[in-house]
Amino acid sequence: MTFTFNGLAQIAVYFGLIVLLTKPVGLYLNAVFEKKNTWFERVLHPVERGFYWVSGVKEDEQQDWKAYTVAMLIFSVAGLLLLYAIERMQGVLPANPQNFAGLDPALAWNTAVSFTTNTNWQNYGGETTMSYLTQMLGLAFHNFTSAAVGIVLAVAVIRGFVRRSGKSLGNFWVDLTRCILYILLPICVVYALFLVWQGVPQTFNGYTPVTSLEGFKQTLALGPVASQEAIKMLGTNGGGFFNANSAHPFENPTPFTNLIEMLSIFTFGAGLLYFFGKVAGNLKIGWSLFGAVSFLFLAGAVITLGAEQQGNPLLATVHATNAPLVQIDQGYHEYALAQPGGNMEGKETRFGIASSTLFATITTDASCGAINSWHDSFTPIGGMIPMLNIALGEIVFGGVGSGHYGLLMFAILSVFIAGLMVGRTPEYLGKKIEQQEVKMASIALLILPLSILCFSAFAVVYSHGVSQIANPGPHGLSEILYLYTSSTGNNGSAFGGIAANTPFYNWTGAFAMLVGRFGFVIPIMALGGALAGKRIAPVGPGTLPTSGGLFAALVVGVILIVGALTFFPAYALGPIVEHLLMLSGKSF
Amino acid sequence: MTTTTTTPTTEAATEALPQRTILQLVGRFVRPAIGLTILFTILLGIFYPLAITGLAQAFFPSQANGSLVYKNGQPIASAIIGQDWTQPQYFHGRPSATTYAADSSGGSNLGPTNSALLTEVQKNTDLVRKENPDVPDTTPIPVDMVTSSASGIDPDISVAAAYYQIARVAKARSLTQDQVRALIDSHIQGRFLGIFGEPRLNVLALNQALDKAQGK
């Protein structure tokens, strides 16, 4: 492990900015979902009412967890089918200056599921496959709605945790509409214009040919990029307009845009934790969970930074004949001012090691999946941390929604396990945790590894599954593991070498994404619904405190033990053994 | 629409009941789902990108169209997209897995223990040595000069990578090395706020400055 002062400073300053943003964002979320007046009420309230009127939404209707979930499912299906149809028919639809043909069924289905579930796994290159119309009408629509669905589900579960009586979790249609109109859309307008200012294109002109000073010919892929980039990051979607995603200078032109993109991944996840504490009537509850995930974030960021700054020792040894060829470890004194050093394969010069590894950690801590460097080319340990982040459920700040309810699941498990150890009835927020809650939390907990490990196991014994691997040796197993981890976790980042645009990977990947989204959230909604009806018991001397350092440490412990026990055997065969082989000078 | 009128006969009432339930469910779930999908598709899929395009073209027309750079009226590049430079009088960019295709971006995705990566780096190393014969073989090559970028169109090189090419460029242009070094130093883009990102040089800007300095 090698560290530079600047690399650690980037992590620290970024984290400080997130801490500063948490409270204002949390308060704003509270205003929107508790229907207090927001800044945009005057302008947007008529639009909101119009949407309800046209769609037949009864604003005051309250839904229990089943009705809320059914509404979410039907809405998701409607959008899924619409996107599938647009992708299949894009060849005959307008706004297609490059005349791209419609997609084949397997790829269209994989992509439709991918964007509906907020995964944004991409088995295609954006600039070589999708028309402008598909990008904005099909994909950007889902960037907004799948993000909003994640947030409102988290809000509904939180209501179940904190409400004192009744079974209602709110109204899905109203929450969804308010989330998009008052939160996502206004921010995106400003965000998109900021991106254009920094250099992100926003045009409907076709691709532009240029000839360089040397006569080198190049065709510049353009499009309405900024409008999509803004919601791609804010909605923690991660589906790039271009194949290179946020490594592409047209998606992420400067270190400034890179910082804003990183901030926009964590903002809502952090804000939701504050919102949770606020509506629970005890801010410490939220800040305790904040502390727990902060530890996981900082640990992951530092390890990834150290591994990548250390670099790849094989690059030095293989060219022993005309060494020293590649300066891999030059410390951080004057030479670091001249070059980033470390493992620069698959990384951009303007981001270097530190801004690339920080981005990789953040995008997998939350369910974003945008990338500004290729995780497949990371060193084994540098690539394992992002994979583990996703496998743990993307609970570290968690992007929009899904991570938050995953974290609440771990909180329930923590009080249950602690309750067993000390022989007391577990309670969280004054509500008794009983059979139904633990059962639902356990189903949700088990379904992710079940999908990840079973699909991976199947793919590695299936000749076609193995034949699509790009990197031989243990790294190939890592590619397959990462694929199903990312699909199931609805992340969307990839070990991109694997050639996954085949019927087998398209269909199984799509299935894993559906399991990861709906198989996970339905038991959690049931958990929220079960808690909603419970009365709140007063705090007694026997109550386990669910705020403070002890509880935060307990949550971290449960997360790490569960994650380690579940995934260590698989990782031992993939990244861990690869790391040891790399140190001993072996290549494949 | 859920208020279907039922006739008072018992026979009709038993038939109407399931029908009424279905209509209620459609009213509660299907109509809002379809209605909101259509409305949001129009708002987010059409109005939003059109509005952003209008504003972007009005306020930042150059960036919105790809930051094109012109020479004699012809577009020669985007200021922020890398190009393949091979001639000795120009600074060269990083290796690209896509030979700088700006309509098909991407990296090599070669893993750290893949022998193809080592072959690739060796090939890049040999090329750098060959292109820069005046640099002693004992001088370390900056790692970004021999590894592929993430986008395949990285517009920048590290400061060390620019220094490494000074001797060649100076010779090809009949300039002193100090002149070229001064040009490099005046084109370094620093970190954002002194913290984020890396110090770097935009290859196109540097090469244009060279041409300009010599009146080309």
Among A202, A214, A352, whose Cβ lies nearest the Cβ of B198? Answer: A352
For residue B151, which residues of chain A lie inside 8 Å, CB to CB?
244, 247-249, 348
Test B83 with A216 for CB contact under 8 angstroms. Answer: yes
Query: A388 vs chain B: nearest CA distance in angstroms?
Result: 18
Q: State pTM to two decimals.
A: 0.93
Q: Which residue of A has its CA nearest to B191?
A: A255
| C-alpha distances in Å from residue A177, one per residue of A75, A169, A228, A371 | 12, 16, 19, 29
Look at residue B17 in the predicted model and tell me its pLDDT. Answer: 57
Look at residue A413 in the predicted model and tell me its pLDDT. Answer: 93
For residue A199, which residues of chain B lie inside 8 Å, CB to CB?
63, 67, 79-80
Secondary structure (3-state) at A428: strand
Test B45 with A55 for CB contact under 8 angstroms. Answer: no
Q: What is the pLDDT of residues B168-181, one digit of tens each?
A: 999 999 999 999 98
Test B32 with A578 for CB contact under 8 angstroms. Answer: no
Look at residue B3 in the predicted model and tell me its pLDDT. Answer: 43
Test A339 with B158 for CB contact under 8 angstroms. Answer: yes
For residue A250, which residues of chain B lie inside 8 Å, CB to CB?
66, 78, 80-81
A99 in contact with chain B, both atoms CB, cutoff 8 A: no
A141 in contact with chain B, both atoms CB, cutoff 8 A: yes
Q: What angle do CA A485, A402, A56 make, to 5 degrees?
A: 130
Contact A289, A337 (CB under 8 A): no
Distance CA A34, CA B199 (A): 46
Phi first, then psi, for residue B19 (nearest 5°) are -60, -40
Look at residue A5 in the predicted model and tell me its pLDDT. Answer: 87
Secondary structure (3-state) at A185: helix
Contact A177, A53 (CB under 8 A): no
Test B147 with A346 for CB contact under 8 angstroms. Answer: yes
A583 in contact with chain B, both atoms CB, cutoff 8 A: no
Contact A377, B95 (CB under 8 A): no
Range with the poorest average pLDDT among A96-105, A334-343, B66-75, B96-105: A334-343
- Cα dihedral across residues B104, B106, B107, B108: positive or negative: negative
Among B30, B55, B100, whose Cβ lies nearest the Cβ of A218? Answer: B100
Taken as a whole, chain A contains a residue count of 588
Look at residue B141 in the predicted model and tell me its pLDDT. Answer: 82
Q: Which residue has the tokens 């386990």?
A: A544
Q: Which residue of B has its CA nearest to A343?
A: B143
For residue A325, which residues of chain B lie inside 8 Å, CB to CB?
125, 140-141, 146
CB-CB neighbours of A104 under 10 Å: 13
Among B90, B103, B200, whose Cβ lies nearest the Cβ of A207? Answer: B103
Burial of B205 (0-12, 13-18, 19+ CB in 10 A): middle
Contact A377, A345 (CB under 8 A): yes
Q: Which residue has the tokens 């150290």?
A: A306
Test A352 with B211 for CB contact under 8 angstroms. Answer: no
Q: Which residue of A has its CA nearest to B87?
A: A214
Q: Which of residues 223-262 of A touch B (CB under 8 A)?
A: 224, 226-228, 242-244, 247-250, 253-256, 258-259
Contact A162, A532 (CB under 8 A): no
Among B33, B52, B105, whose Cβ lies nearest the Cβ of A227? Answer: B52
Which ranges constitute the DSSP H helices of chain B? Answer: 10-25, 31-42, 48-59, 61-64, 115-131, 159-164, 166-173, 177-185, 203-213
Look at residue A333 in the predicted model and tell me its pLDDT. Answer: 33
What is the distance of C-alpha A244 from the center of its chain?
A: 17
For residue A327, which residues of chain B lie inside 8 Å, CB to CB?
140-143
Distance CA A443, CA A524 (A): 9
Residue B22 token pair = 């279905």
Look at residue A317 in the predicted model and tell me its pLDDT. Answer: 54
Average pLDDT taken over every residue of chain B = 89
Test A136 with B46 for CB contact under 8 angstroms. Answer: yes
Contact A446, A463 (CB under 8 A): no
For residue B125, which residues of chain A lie inside 8 Å, CB to CB?
319, 322, 325-326
Which ranges constitute the DSSP H helices of A366-473? Answer: 380-391, 402-422, 435-461, 463-467
Among A188, A228, A346, whose Cβ lies nearest the Cβ of B107? Answer: A346
Instruction: Output the tens digit of pLDDT for each of chain A's 588 residues.
Output: 888 888 999 999 999 999 999 999 999 999 999 888 777 888 889 999 999 999 999 999 999 999 999 999 999 999 999 999 999 999 999 889 889 999 999 999 999 999 999 999 999 988 899 999 999 899 989 999 999 999 999 999 999 999 877 789 999 999 999 999 999 999 999 999 999 999 999 999 989 999 999 999 999 999 999 999 999 999 999 998 999 999 999 999 999 999 999 999 999 999 999 999 999 999 999 999 999 999 999 999 999 999 998 888 888 754 433 332 333 333 333 344 577 888 999 999 999 999 999 999 999 999 999 999 999 999 999 999 999 999 998 999 877 767 888 999 999 999 999 888 888 888 899 899 989 999 999 999 999 999 999 999 999 999 999 999 999 999 999 999 999 999 999 999 999 899 999 999 999 999 999 999 999 999 999 999 999 988 888 877 778 888 889 999 999 999 999 887 899 999 999 999 999 999 998 999
Give yes or no for residue B201 having a pLDDT over 80.
Answer: yes
| C-alpha distances in Å from residue A283, one per residue of A17, A170, A447, B13, B67 | 19, 22, 31, 54, 47
Distance CA A200, CA A205 (A): 14
DSSP code string of A351-388: TTTHHHHHHHHHHHHTT----SS-GGGS-HHHHHHHHH
Residue A212 token pair = 């360089």
Query: A312 vs chain B: nearest CA distance in angstroms?
Result: 7
Contact A371, A245 (CB under 8 A): yes
Q: Which of residues 503-562 of A touch B (CB under 8 A)?
A: none
Phi first, then psi, for residue A458 (nearest 5°) are -65, -45
Test A256 with B101 for CB contact under 8 angstroms. Answer: no
Secondary structure (3-state) at B92: coil
- Which of A93, A256, A349 should be substituted to probe chain B, the one whose Cβ sees the most B Cβ atoms within 10 Å? A349
Residue A502 token pair = 């085949």
A220 in contact with chain B, both atoms CB, cutoff 8 A: yes
- Write A80-86 long-range contacts (CB < 8 A, 24+): A80/A112, A80/A113, A80/A116, A81/A112, A82/A138, A82/A141, A82/B37, A82/B41, A83/A111, A83/A112, A83/A115, A83/A116, A83/A138, A83/A139, A83/A141, A83/A142, A84/A108, A84/A109, A84/A112, A86/A133, A86/A134, A86/A137, A86/A138
Among B28, B156, B197, whose Cβ lies nearest the Cβ of A258? Answer: B197
For chains A and B, CB pairs below 8 A equal 417
Residue A325 token pair = 């060829």
- Which of B44, B72, B126 should be substituted to probe chain A, the one whose Cβ sees the most A Cβ atoms within 10 Å? B44
For residue B56, which residues of chain A lie inside 8 Å, CB to CB?
192-193, 196, 202-203, 226
Test A325 with B141 for CB contact under 8 angstroms. Answer: yes
Strands (E), A58-107: none
Test B196 with A328 for CB contact under 8 angstroms. Answer: no
Among A128, A344, A474, whose Cβ lies nearest the Cβ of B104? Answer: A128
Test A57 with B36 for CB contact under 8 angstroms. Answer: yes
Distance CA A117, CA A112 (A): 9
Test A318 with B158 for CB contact under 8 angstroms. Answer: no
For residue B65, which residues of chain A lie inside 8 Å, CB to CB?
201, 203, 205, 208, 222
Distance CA A364, CA A375 (A): 11
Contact A242, A188 (CB under 8 A): no
> Which 8-state DSSP code applies to residue B192?
B
